[in-house]
Amino acid sequence: MLLNTACFTRFTRIGAPVLLFILLAFLSQRFYFSSLPLRGVPTAAGKLHIGVFATSGNYHLCQLHISAALMGYPAFTLVNWQDPEDKDAMKQHAAKIEGAIKYIDSIPAEQQDELVFLVDGYDMWFQLPHEYILKRYHELVAEAHQRHIDEYGQALVAEHNIKTTVIFGPDKECAPGGMDAPGCWAVPESLMHPLAFGPETDHTKSTQSRPRWLNSGTIIGPAHQIRDILIAAAEERRVAHVTDSDQYYFGVLYGMQSYARRLLRLHRDQSLGIDTVGDSAFLDASRPSSPSDKHFPNIANRQSDYSIGLDTNSAIFQTTGFYADYISWVRNNASSDYVRDAARKGNYHHHFALQDDLKGRGPGQIVGVPESALGRWETLPLATNTVSRNVPAVMHINGKKGYRILWWPRMWFYPFLEQIWTHLKSNGNMGSSTIAGQRRAIEGAHTLNQQGPGWIDWEDVCGKYEDRLMGKSREPN
């Protein structure tokens, strides 16, 4: 007993300081690498360039436009405006790539490091002001950086500049194409909890699937990096044509990137003598255990990493395909009947806490309307992802298109739309901008087509839809 006590005392005296030193060294190294500046990440001070794919105007484009105008967004550019439309929707998708390249090329060279935000024009609404897009983008980049360090190690991240700086919207179904495509099977697992959608998560229908796949309806990232992706997608379509869907080729690039990154980790683990049997079977097409129906990307002698990532938890983008049952308009003030009733029943699972960046603020500070109901976000019904509990900045109605009609009156601004609109126009805000050097969406939109750049006033693109947008009439369509 005395011997054991002496040994323990000696270990405590000698071993404890050693363990403490190792722990401190690990933590300091982790902090050092996680705080290293990422290469190719735009600063928060740059402009947000917004490109909207639309060949012609209609009511649904003007839903997007008025939601941007209400919250002081800079005027966006209508890409492919009045260019001929292909009757084949898939081929029209392919035209997006060409138009997007032309749009990014129109941005001055000194602004190619600034953020570009590309969105589809006919099924998109803004829910929050543009500063939330910028803030949350930088948060997602930082979170991904730490995740990459945890997953691949500091050495691989630094050597290969592994980062996530071009962010796409998430999808709950891999389409088009089958699960044999690398854009389906090779991509990382969802960041959501394995049981996020209940006990049948990922095992039955798409409504129960976690968002894991790429949706091309929303893209944000540095201009020159998005251009690289667009060029690569166009080349992939040219040399290995499968479909005319732009989403398919972006998915191919994302799958190839994920495959290449896992190979880097596999080779690192093999060099360290770590058991890699499972990863080898998953990644190596030559092994008998590999499924014969998998298409393995060829990454030899080509760029394989494009810094692509997904907004899995819908901090910025909320896609609605297969998601309708998990989107709710929630008032987050503690006195609301919803929260009070949930607390009384002891059902704390459904208690929603407003995100920190929304607390103590409200849209009234942006639109300038002296309306008490607009003073705080907590009192307004905000479209909320009930799984991640995030209030997204952008709604992408990519599922059943009827929701563009059914959900429009639920948006927080709908009851105040006419009041806000009248205020903005009567207070001379038509010609000023919240962002230096940029015109505002309330004035109209820039245009870009085969003839070159241009401008279209609000009245010309959306004036005739104002009454319908405000619920005062049902026509025109």
Digit-by-digit pLDDT tens for the chain (477 residues) are: 444 555 545 545 555 554 554 445 444 444 444 445 566 666 655 689 999 999 999 999 999 999 999 999 999 999 999 998 877 766 676 789 999 999 999 999 999 999 999 999 999 999 999 999 999 999 999 999 999 999 999 999 999 999 999 999 999 999 998 888 999 999 999 999 999 999 999 998 899 999 999 999 999 999 999 999 999 999 999 999 988 899 999 999 999 999 999 999 999 999 999 988 878 878 875 554 444 578 888 898 899 999 999 999 999 999 999 999 999 999 988 655 655 566 565 555 567 789 999 998 999 877 767 667 888 999 999 999 999 999 999 999 998 999 999 999 999 999 999 999 988 888 755 444 456 678 999 999 999 999 999 999 999 999 999 999 999 987 765
pLDDT at 10: 55
What pLDDT score does 348 carry?
53
Task: Compute the distance between CA of residue 101 and CA of residue 229 in angstroms, rounded to an integer.
Answer: 10
User: Shortest CA distance to 165 belongs to which of 107, 215, 225?
Assistant: 225
What integer pLDDT is reported at residue 364 of this predicted model?
Answer: 82
Q: Say if CB 185 and CB 255 are below 8 A apart.
A: yes
Q: Strand 124-126 and strand 394-396: pairing?
A: antiparallel
Domain residue extents for the chain: 86-317, 332-380
Predicted TM-score (pTM) of this structure: 0.87
Question: Looking at the DSSP assignment, which residues form a beta bridge with residue 330?
Answer: 382
3-state SS of the chain?
CHHHHHHHHHHHHHHHHHHHHHHHHHHHHHHHHHCCCCCCCCCCCCCEEEEEECCCCCHHHHHHHHHHHHCCCECCEEECCCCCCCCCHHHHHHHHHHHHHHHHHCCCHHHCCCEEEEEECCCEEECCCHHHHHHHHHHHHHHHHHHHHHHHCHHHHHHHCCCCCEEEEEECCCCCCCCCCHHHHCCCCCCCCCCCCCCCCCCCCHHHCCCCEEEEEEEEEEHHHHHHHHHHHHHHHHHCCCCCCHHHHHHHHHHHHHHHHHHHHHHHHHHCCCCCHHHHHHHCCCCCCCCCCCCCCCCCCCCCCCCEEECCCCCCEEECCCCHHHEEEECCCCCCHHHHHHHHHCCHHHCCCCCHHHCCCCCHHHHCCCCHHHCCHHHCCEEEECCCCCCCCEEECCCCCCHHHHCHHHCCCHHHHHHHHHHHHHCCCCCCCCCCCCCECCCEEEEEECCEEEEEEHHHHHHHHHHHHCCCCCCCC
Return the structure tokens found at 193: 């909890």
